[in-house]
Structure 1
């Protein structure tokens, strides 16, 4: 089954009351596509798990993915992040749990769906995080994260953008350039997308995998593999 796209009308509904504090960093690194991609992720996930009762937003930050998710579903959502300040500044009300994504503070099979957006690349061990997301999910795992293009010329291009251009584009939006340079250093230490795709296919039953924005991001919706 293919990815399900959010319609223009659905996106309009998301944008109509989007909080002013919605994270700008992901706007800049995703070429202003982050909200659309989150909506597409949610719609695709709900195609495979149409009636979830309990959903976990891993490394939720201020809850941007949860905000989008609630535009499409009435499922009970839990936001989990390592940063207490992020959780306190959440853009949406709801249950918030402080914890690390490489050691999720939940029992096995606690959630119908486990999701994450623009966060897994910050981990020192992506495999461990995926195993943890799989462990606490009863059915579905869905995520978007920054990767690294397999093509050398694309790696060079996006590396140049992240290092030399994005911090100053962020400055035009009122942000401090130095606050965005860390993204380039995360990008440098990442493995290539082929490595991650192989890893995900080994651990999960992949239903949708695609790469976006010159292969700088991967989009994954998967079911638990029967054991």
Structure 2
């Protein structure tokens, strides 16, 4: 049986919200009804429960580094630590919210030695992979302590799958407009959703490589939340 994720407090979330730069992608906050920020904070706190004083952290498929930004807001340890952002989109790294080191690479071919990082983490990105098992294999390969990630999955319930298909294809792109985005730029999310495996298939893959400590499905099972130790 897996444990529950640790929930970020209202005070911690307020700090993240209040200090977050204007360059942050507001459209994503509208789409998720502000849950993306909260879930990133939950992920950071849950990871730190299992890795108290990390020294080297990798943010996989980091985008502009929203997860690493949240990490810095929550992790109050005064000891020195380093975060590395990795992404295959150069423009995303150039717009990063933090000034730490950046590496241009794909998440299914990480250019790092085995067991390099105390923490390997990712948020809202792994579903873009053509082969999720390759990505899980890579992130567990380079972690020496803990991995944690949130990504889009697909409910095992066919009723929820139909409902979410309608939402993602016909409703969500137009909600994004409220955040200043263009609807056409968000329609691709539906096509990613259509090709991803179901959550039960995802979990079987995770269990091959991860000693799972926390596994949760959120938002009508559209997202999975995973924290655990790489298996030997």
TM bin, normalised by shorter chain, reads over 0.9
Aligned-partner SS, 1:70? helix
Cα deviation for residue 72 of structure 1 reads 2.0
In the alignment, what sits opposite 1:105? 111
Instruction: State yes or no: 1:192 paired with 2:198.
Output: yes
Give deviations 1:22-62, integer Å, cap 9, x for gaps.
13453244332000000000000000011100000000000
Aligned-partner SS, 1:56? strand
Q: Distance in 1 between matches of 2:64 and 2:186?
A: 17
Aligned residues: 226
In the alignment, what sits opposite 1:34? 36
Aligned-partner SS, 1:21? coil
Cα deviation for residue 2 of structure 1 reads 2.4
Q: Distance in 1 between matches of 2:219 and 2:158?
A: 15
Instruction: State yes or no: 1:168 paired with 2:174.
Output: yes
In the alignment, what sits opposite 2:56? 54
Aligned pairs (5 A) from 1:16-35: 16-35=18-37
Structure 2 unaligned spans of 5+? none
RMSD of aligned Cα (Å): 1.1
Cα deviation for residue 65 of structure 1 reads 0.4
Give deviations 1:151-208, integer Å, cap 9, x for gaps.
1111111111110001111112221100000000000001100000111112110000
Aligned-partner SS, 1:71? helix
In the alignment, what sits opposite 1:72? 74
Instruction: State yes or no: 1:182 paired with 2:184.
Output: no
Distance 1:82 1:25, change over 3 A: farther
Among candidates 131, 138, 157, match of residue 132 of structure 1: 138
Aligned-partner SS, 1:108? coil
In the alignment, what sits opposite 1:15? 17
Aligned-partner SS, 1:112? strand
Give deviations 1:55-74, integer Å, cap 9, x for gaps.
00000000000000011225
- Whether contact under 8 Å (1:147, 1:216) holds in the other structure is yes
**TM-score normalised to structure 1 length:** 0.96
Aligned-partner SS, 1:96? strand
- Whether contact under 8 Å (1:56, 1:77) holds in the other structure is yes
- Whether contact under 8 Å (1:61, 1:81) holds in the other structure is yes
- Whether contact under 8 Å (2:211, 2:228) holds in the other structure is yes
Q: Distance in 1 between matches of 2:27 and 2:138?
A: 26
**TM-score normalised to structure 2 length:** 0.94
